[in-house]
Amino acid sequence: MNQPGKILKNIPADSTYYMKKAFQLAEKARGTCSPNPFVGAVIVKNGKVISEGWTQPYGGDHAEIQALKKAGKSARDADLYVTLEPCVHYGKTPPCTDAIIKAGIKRVFIGIIDPNPLVNGKGVKKLMDAGIEVISGIMEEAISRQLEYYLCRIQKGRPFVLWKTALSMDGKYAAKDGSSRWITGESSRRLVHHLREEADVILSSIGTVLKDDPMLNVRLPKPIKQPLRAILDPYLEIPLNSKIVQSLLEYRTTIFCARGKENSPHSELLISLGASIYPITAKGKILCLKEVLGILHQQGNYLILLECGSELASSFFSEKLIDKSYIFYAPKILGGNKAILSELDLPDLKSAINYKDISIQKKGEDWLIIGYPSYS
């Protein structure tokens, strides 16, 4: 029987270098494997990378398993760098810890501990009990940000909500006559389609459907996937000739309605055409957003891209449910009264929602501001 392992006290100088490689490999799985986290792994022996791995689509190999398979017998006495604590439980696949121990890995370097109660610290303990040296906390801040969708799913019990909007320089989402296509330029719109490709769900409202008749799909060459389209439609007003309904057989679509509306003839027709209908608690035309997110969470979705009008976005902010924002500003002044979030009731400056960890990027002629709302 192996002697128990230990936490390394002297961190090798090159550990951050190899963890950066694992971090970069994890990005190959971004948007492809939810509800599993996208993880990267590197196996190093005698100062050389001998194999690499990243999480495969849900039900496939985890990053560690892919790297171990590529390394084969060479994995014995090697070091494993992995961005997230290896799993110790049976899910769609067997525990990664068992495979690591069987392969004869000597040391395991972990980015962050997995907060999932099924794993949290248990993976580290099992490795150490098998005589493997373990160290965690390498690039912890960067990896926590990288895995923010997964961490939200585990820690908050709901999907991560990313709000996207396009505005003029004076904060208007449309001109005085209501026209809004297109406020931003081609570079910004292309990035939005990459965001859609990454997302599990694009969430919008019946108001947006009636006003813009959108498709809410990914229009990129050979997209890796098409997200679920989810529409909040309390009274099931969605027209049969809308693009959403006309494409139900092509794109997965869920419609959330007020309880009692799910048994209507219109509902039955939508279901026959390929829609999924979910009745939700409602107060008038306002659906319970937490109930909506709860259903999407149970389905295994961990990133929701919120593409909607001002009213629904205001409701999400009121419920403190927006986790991150992508705000595109076009170099235009529109004037008029089409101000975003005008329905958000913030009576004074002290009630303002502050933003943190802000970054600013140039996208063609537009500016993109990315930030995290702080509700404290």
> Known catalytic residues?
64
Reduced DSSP (H G I as helix, E B as strand, rest coil) percent helix, strand, coil of the chain, to 5? 30, 25, 45
Q: Concatenated DSSP letters for 160-221? A: EEEEEEEEETTSBSS-TTS--TTSS-HHHHHHHHHHHHH-SEEEEEHHHHHHH----S--SS
Nearest to 174 by CA among 207, 196, 199, 201: 207
Reported as type and span, the H/E element at residue 101 is helix 96-103
Place of tokens 């270098």: 17
- Measure the CA dihedral 159/157/151/80, to 10°: -120
Q: How far apart are CA 304 and CA 296, in angstroms?
A: 9
Rounded to 10 deg, the angle between the 63-71 and 15-26 helix axes is 110
Rounded to 10 deg, the angle between the 122-129 and 96-103 helix axes is 20
Classify 121 as helix, strand or coil.
coil
Q: Is 274 left (phi over 0), alpha (psi -120 to 50) or beta?
A: left
Half-sphere exposure of 118 (CA within 13 A, CB side): 10
Q: Are 18 and 81 in contact (CB under 8 A)?
A: yes
Q: Are 191 and 335 in contact (CB under 8 A)?
A: no
DSSP summary character for residue 7? B
